[in-house]
Amino acid sequence: MTTETARIEAFSDGVFTIAITLLVLEIKIPAPGSEPLSVQLWKQWPSYVSFAISFAFIGIMWINHHRLFTYIKQSNNSLLLLNLLLLLGVTSVPFPTAVLAAHLGKTDQRAAAVLYSGTYFFIAIFFNLLWRYAASDKWKLLAAEVDRTAVHHITRQYAFGPLLYLACLGLCWVSVPASIAANAALACFFALPPQRALLRRR
């Protein structure tokens, strides 16, 4: 990496790596002798669901972060701060994942789902702020020969993020499984390249 943002990218990659690794720690090793191993493994199904969804989410967030920094080639203090706030959300993902795994299917699952969806709503906001700040003509942070059509597609795709994640948050009061499924669908949407995502939405 030879751009001015090389250290930002390297630091961010490290944070994503640690966050995605911590997720697996919430899947406990069954203790021998208490119950048949197959029963204990089956009882941990909420942990498997939470792990799989959060692993996918963090992986897709990393893909999107990588996409943004193929266009962002300059940095300033505000960009550094916005990137840190985004990474704050990323590093917090293992906690709501653990809470959701512990309470999914139980009486407090709605509160756990609100915490879980709220975390992704927070992340969506700062993804938007980071990109909109970097893409502003005022700061000149994008590459000189940047494809403006691609920049426009990213801006349009990201514009829907906070609203859609807010809808997932509201859906927690209607149906927790539906809220989790909607979060998973959004992850698939943001995994698509911006041009294809907009075409799929239309």
pTM of the entire predicted model:
0.88
Helix (H) or strand (E) run with residue 15 in it: helix 6-22
142 contact partners, CB below 8 Å, separation of at least 6: 71, 72, 73, 74, 134, 135, 151
Share the mean pLDDT of the chain: 90
Characterize 135-145 residue by residue with b for buried, 16 or more Cβ atoms within 10 angstroms of its Cβ, and e for exposed.
Answer: beeeeebbeee
Q: For 28-59, how does the pLDDT look when each residue is reduced to its tens digit (9 = 90+)? A: 888 887 789 999 999 899 889 889 888 989 99
What is the predicted pLDDT for the residue at 1?
44
Lookup: tokens for 137: 């003509």
200 contact partners, CB below 8 Å, separation of at least 6: 189, 192
What is the predicted pLDDT for the residue at 187?
86
The answer to whether residues 170 and 178 touch, using CB atoms and an 8 Å cutoff, is no
- pLDDT (mean) for 67-89: 95
| Alpha-carbon torsion angle 64, 172, 55, 119, nearest 10 | 60
Domain boundaries, the chain: 6-24+33-201
What is the predicted pLDDT for the residue at 128?
95
Nearest C-alpha neighbor of 130 from the set 78, 177, 172? 78
Q: For 129-187, how does the pLDDT look when each residue is reduced to its tens digit (9 = 90+)? A: 999 999 998 989 998 888 888 898 899 888 889 999 999 999 999 999 999 999 989 88
What is the predicted pLDDT for the residue at 190?
87
- Is the pLDDT confidence value at 2 over 70? no
For 154-188, the DSSP string reads HHHHHHTHHHHHHHHHHHTTT-HHHHHHHHHHHHH
